[in-house]
Chains A and B, each alone.
Chain A
Amino acid sequence: MKAFATLLDTLVYTTSRNRKLDLIAEYLRETGDPDRGWALAALTGELDFPAVKSSTVRNLMKDRVDPVLWTLSRDFVGDTAETVSLLWPEKDGDAPQNPPTLSETIELLTSLNRNTAPKQLPGLLDQLDANGRFALIKLATGGMRIGISARLAKTAFARAFDVSVEDVEEYWHALTPPYADLFAWAADGGDPPDVSGTPRFRPFMLAHPLEETKVDLAEYAAEWKWDGIRIQIVRVGGETRLYSRSGDDISATFPELLDVLPMDGALDGELLVRGTAQGGEAGGAASFNALQQRLGRKTVSKKMLTEAPAFVRLYDALIIKDEDLREQPWSVRRGALEALFKQLPSSHFDLSHLVEARDFEHLAEIRKGAREDAIEGLMLKRRDSPYIAGRKVGLWYKWKRDPLLIDCVLMYAQRGSGKRSSFYSDYTFGCWDGDPDDGAELLPVGKAYSGFTDAELKKLDKLVRQTTLNRFGPVREVERTLVFEVVFDSVHTSKRHKSGLAMRFPRIHRIRWDKPVHEGDQIEALRALIRD
């Protein structure tokens, strides 16, 4: 527990992403089983102890600290876990002896129920120093809020043992804490974990922005880039799961898709909901807003299933039955997908049609003419490209339609004024100054306070309050968890910002609740849009 508490404490004070990766990697290398696995589970948010709530811990203080002194302290410190860790009465004399290991702590926390938790927790807290108590309470109540995302923890794992993060992500959902098989493979040179029986996630193939590049349509196929959320639908041994771009399992949110694949496999597509907003030959999809009503829900009402049923517009086939197609060229996979599509229920699947054009100029004209909201732009896929995790130059391009759009990461929020004075409604967002998986940092590129509905504002305000890292007067620094699709008229060089860029009339185009922050755009992508 001591090493884990020290790790958490050090992470709190570390701002550099690269340094965070090193600290976690070092901990994972130097710690034995099963502690390191539990630590990894804690950092990736996989642990849940329903018997211990924030209120459980607060109630413990009621018998130990005067309520007025508690409130004054809590208000000053700003964090319940930290306040408890500081106020917990220590026995006089030396630091506690023989603190429990992380595994022993987890074992005890797992065994608790709502009745035993208030009786058992004090004994555990007595065995720890202030740092240990902070770590214990964060661990027990969930939500570390120390600026570590699941993706960052997985990247640190990959760095610790020199394996690829894509492999880690692929095994991840098939394994459970404390991930003995994962460590046996990565750390101790054992066989890769056997994950064949589980419908697991495969990292997505991603595209680069096209920018100034022109491609030959003999080599590249074009298709619409749809405005839904990119998903992977996987079935193994009859069990189906849905994964988002970040590899989160979102099966529970879309139950109507869980028994519609007639065979095992892994397909890549855009999740959309039926609606009348955009009809037309390729349409039948409602606006992104309609889809948003369905995101992030743990339970789905019958009404919702009837009014906004989801379907998948298929892009690609990774696996069909026993056959892994990822090494095959896109044209072969496309052929297989089209053949498969005929056997799929049209109620839940359709096919993303290819866009036929005489040449690149013709394609540019077609793109200009596309006015449907459900279309974000075009995708250009090299006909001979295998399906490779991540972004590889020259294989896939995205060619978003005008105006200028960029994916930014929310960094700071400021309270508005007037009607909005109690809301954090002005958002500062940033782009990466390099490859985020290679230790890049975010640099602020702009600020916007419009482009969202009142309902979205409420949700954003809540997120800001829940993920606050720092307060500077009316400004809060937040954990990097949210991507904004920002639309703007132009971008210019500027000395005012550290990024050296300033946007003209930026506003929030869409809130990408589904998109992982490391897929936010890089500064270079924004710089490429300068038309000075």
Chain B
Amino acid sequence: MTAAPFSWIQPHPWGVHIAPADCWIDPTREVDKALVTHGHADHARGGHGETVATPETLAIMELRYNTREGATPVQYGETIRLPGGVDATYIPAGHVLGSAQILLEHAGERVVITGDYKRRADPTCAPFEVTPCDIFITEATFGLPVFVHPPIADEMAKLLKALTDNPDQCVLVGAYALGKAQRVIAELRTAGHAQPIYLHGAMEKMCRLYQEHGVDLGELRLVADHAKDDMRGSIIIAPPSAMNTTWSRRLPNPITAMASGWMRVRGRARQRGVELPLIISDHADWNELTQTIDDVNPHETWITHGREEALLRWCELSQRRARALALIGREDEDD
């Protein structure tokens, strides 16, 4: 007797379970064996018996969650054999340094779990690769047609204009400490901004890790090491949580900017007191999400987290089979 199709892969609120191998993808609780797509806290955590991830993701996890035990590195394109006859292949997802989609193959059935991903070029990580499969498990963080991220060059131009227009001030950019911050810095370098960029202390180690992995971020300085006047006319990068705290009082009259896909909606930007919204996201926008489903052309699409209702509706309108998974703890307001 054969098992029902795809019964070996089971979504639960705290992660996706691969039954024959008894291991989990991006579990939000401690498990014996975890396959982790990337280093963000809603996908990666410490305390697992064994963690399988790309070397970059493992390095990030060691830095953030102090995980050293049971780390099993997998290179992009490498396939590992899990117990129960399941093969897992790590494929670039284009989200942040080390981020991967995981292709699972078992009994002739192919399932791809994207983790988080985007299709735009990003100088800090390997680009997303389209991988044909039967079941495509996709995120939907920006799964509403109002979310269309503009070209990043436009947003950089906005940021640099604010800087030159206000030489006596500084621009404080709120950016998620893993991925967004480094991408903004790298894109600023691409746009020709060669001046030193100042960092909040919480950003330092992650930026160094990126540099050690060969990402060119130019000259970085710590806000704590410099006087207020040194930072006039400069860009400061800080985690969003630090933006309206007493820490920001040491900055010279900052213009508050925020790099996030949510900045597309005025109300969201105003809610956070943002004066200069920069629509920059490491997630796929609506067009990328729908284009990717078309490109992958799976038999069925499962939607993990975000605005799954709208993406489900799109699948229905496009006559594609789809279902929503109720995964918990997967919403990153800072992205």
Contacts and interface: CB of A to CB of B under 8 A. Distances in A.
Interface string A82-117: 110011000000000000000000000000000000
Contacts of B273: 15
A486 to B, nearest CB: 27
Nearest to A12: B266
Interface in B142-168: 144-146, 148
Contacts of B144: 69, 72-73, 76
Nearest to A13: B275
B310 A73 contact: yes
B4 interface: no
Nearest to B146: A86
B309 interface: yes
Given A69-B314, A72-B309, A13 B270 contact: yes
B310 A77 contact: no
A87 B146 contact: yes
A68 interface: yes
Interface in B241-290: 264-267, 269-271, 273-277
B269 A13 contact: yes
A282 B269 CA distance: 55
Interface residues of A, number: 22
A68 B239 CA distance: 35
Contact of A77 (B267, B270, B274, B275): B267
A471 interface: yes
B146 A471 contact: no
A390 B265 CA distance: 40
Contacts of A13: 266, 269-270, 274-277
Nearest to A9: B266
Contact of A69 (B145, B148, B269): B145
Nearest to B312: A68
B64 interface: no
Contacts of A77: 146, 265, 267
B313 A72 contact: yes
Nearest to A70: B145
B266 A65 contact: no
A470 B275 contact: no
B317 interface: yes
Interface in A48-78: 65-66, 68-69, 72-73, 76-78
Contacts of B146: 73, 76-77, 83, 86-87
Nearest to A129: B150
Given A72-B307, A76-B307, A87-B145, A472 B271 contact: yes
A469 B145 contact: no
A147 B34 CA distance: 50
A14 interface: yes
Contacts of B270: 12-13, 469-470
Nearest to B267: A78
A445 B331 CA distance: 35
B328 to A, nearest CB: 20
Interface in B308-325: 309-310, 313-314, 317
A472 B267 CA distance: 11
Given A79-B267, A471-B267, A72 B310 contact: yes
Interface in B295-313: 307, 309-310, 313
A69 B277 contact: no
24 contacts: A12-B270, A13-B270, A13-B274, A13-B275, A14-B275, A15-B273, A15-B275, A68-B310, A68-B313, A69-B145, A69-B313, A69-B314, A72-B307, A72-B310, A72-B313, A73-B145, A73-B146, A73-B310, A76-B307, A77-B146, A82-B266, A83-B146, A86-B146, A86-B265
Given A13-B274, A65-B145, A86-B145, 16 more contacts: A12-B270, A13-B266, A15-B273, A15-B275, A68-B310, A69-B314, A72-B144, A72-B307, A72-B309, A72-B310, A73-B145, A77-B267, A82-B266, A83-B146, A470-B267, A471-B271
Interface of B: 144-146, 148, 264-267, 269-271, 273-277, 307, 309-310, 313-314, 317
4 tightest A-B contacts by CB? Answer: A86-B146, A72-B310, A68-B313, A73-B146
